Amino acid sequence: MSIYDVPVRALDGAEASLADYKDQVLLVVNVASKCGLTPQYTGLEKLHEKFADRGFVVLGFPCNQFGEQEPGSADEIATFCSSSYGVTFPLFEKNDVNGPDRQPLYDVLTPLADSEGNTGDIRWNFEKFLVDRNGEPVQRFSPLTEPESDELVEAIEKLLG
């Protein structure tokens, strides 16, 4: 299954489609508002702004599975992200990323290994997946990888050409 075929909903619950992002390089991130890694929103927004004109988009998928660090409603998440971090990149409906109710997008993403060989279940908030312009997941990054790290920026630039 292509990521473009995966059913998704916008943060407000409205129907959405990843096909809207065809021909763009994507960074898919499971996000949370009350996590020690939450300040990564700043770097994610900077990446989104820096590369947007070259066909790059960050896609945020809130998840409450790790220490209940995303307890808020859709409105609370939207307000927090915009007022605390100036987030302008798309946010999607809060979903599970592991287990029987996993958002199907993560069935497509999680077989990919990170640089340490980790595959399968998401380990924590802010795990990142780089997806090429054809909708193929090509690289997985640890939650501890900072959005503006050389490793991630170089991978994005390579895909943008």
User: 105-148: per-residue pLDDT in tens?
Assistant: 999 999 999 999 999 999 999 999 999 999 999 999 999 999 99
Architecture of domain 3-152: 3-Layer(aba) Sandwich (3.40)
Residue from 92, 128, 132 nearest 110 by CA: 128
C-beta separation of 11 from 92 below 8 A: yes
Angle at 107 between CA 106 and CA 111, to 5 degrees: 95
Mean pLDDT of 32-47: 97
Could you give the residue numbers annotated as active site?
35
- pLDDT computed for residue 2 by the predictor: 85
β-strand 56-62 against 15-17: which pairing, if any?
unpaired
Per-domain residue ranges for the chain?
3-152
